[in-house]
Amino acid sequence: MSDDLRDAKQKDDRNQAKYEDAGIAGLKEAEHAWLTYRDLQCKMAAQRYEGGTMAPLAYSNCLQTLIEHRIDDLKSVYEEDDSKLE
């Protein structure tokens, strides 16, 4: 997205630059919301072990799982794969 924005600015394509800026802003907003979700979800996953030695492990495992899923989600949306459009 940053490359597309840079290209639009180099070509002085204001409409495309505006579109890319909006996309980047939207992604940042979504990521902020996802981070809040992630932290709350993992806090809840660890809560059942609160006070015990398993709580940090449950929190860590939850983080790993959610982050891996998020990476897959982002790749499926933002990586260019024109074969999916055919």
The per-residue pLDDT for range 36-59, each reduced to its tens digit, is: 999 999 999 999 999 999 999 999
**Interatomic CA distance for residues 63 and 17, integer angstroms:** 34
Number of C-alpha atoms within 13 angstroms, CB side, residue 59?
A: 14
pLDDT at 15 over 60: yes
Q: Which residue has the higher pLDDT, 53 or 86?
A: 53
pTM of the model: 0.77
Beta strands in 1-86 (DSSP E): none
| pLDDT score of 3 | 84
DSSP state, 49? T
The per-residue pLDDT for range 17-40, each reduced to its tens digit, is: 999 889 899 999 999 999 999 999
* Domain parsing of the chain, residue ranges: 2-79
